[in-house]
Structure formats: structure tokens, C-alpha cells
Amino acid sequence: MNEKALKARELKGEDLNSFIDAKGISTICLLCGNDGVMIMSHGPDKPLQLFAMPLVHPDAEPGDTAETAGFICSNCGHVTTFAASLIVEWKYGEPPNDG
């Protein structure tokens, strides 16, 4: 497992909230227009819920994944996700192409 993936496991709810604010990301649901979301964690100081999506392409190694974190619309349940590696890059100031 690469260093970014390990650091992603240390991300907390407040990290995603700060990332959303810093990037100017709207929390208004794209589907229903509701302005109320829930960060997918057990609290601001608790670890984010990460989802590992399998990568399926000719160069992918077995077990290659893209990890994501996100929020859920409190009205319709639409899930919006973000690449955990980009949250790590933002938080730690790492270059985007190191794995």
C-alpha cells in the first residue's frame, strides 16, 4: 500500500469538511437542490468512511483500487464522492502525481 493510501486512512470528517470549504465545493445536492449534507464519518474528529472502488482496465493489477470519501444528501440520499488521494494532497501539500 502506498503512502498516500495510508495517509487517507488517517483522514477525519473535519478534513473532508475543510477540503470542501477550501475548494469552494457546493454542498447543494445536484439532484434535489437540498442544502443539507452529511459527511460520511462518525463525527468531525472520527475517521472518514472510505470506499475502495476496483480499477478495471488493461493495465490494472489485481486488487488495484481508487479510494473515495464523500457526503450524502440528507433529503434524497444522493452520494457525492471525492478521490481520497486528492484530499491527502490538499491536506499535506503533496504533489498530485506521486501515486
Q: What is the model's pTM?
A: 0.84
For residue 98, tell me if it sits in a domain: no
For residue 77, tell me if it sits in a domain: yes
For residue 43, tell me if it sits in a domain: yes
Domain that holds residue 42: 3-92
Residue with cell 459527511: 39
For residue 99, tell me if it sits in a domain: no
For residue 8, tell me if it sits in a domain: yes
pLDDT at 2: 77
What does the pLDDT average to over 25-50?
93
Residue 96: pLDDT band with limits 50, 70, 90:
low
Give the pLDDT confidence of 52-77 residue by residue, as tens digits: 989 888 888 888 888 999 999 999 99
74 touches 33 (CB < 8 A) = no
pLDDT at residue 43 tops 90: no
Q: What is the rounded average pLDDT for all residues in the chain?
A: 90
Number of alpha carbons in the 13 Å side-chain half-sphere of residue 84: 25
What does the pLDDT average to over 36-40?
93
Q: Residue type at 39?
A: I
pLDDT at residue 97 tops 70: no
For residue 97, tell me if it sits in a domain: no
For residue 53, tell me if it sits in a domain: yes
Question: What is the number of domains present in the chain?
Answer: 1
| Range list of β-strands (E), 35-78 | 37-39, 51-54, 65-73
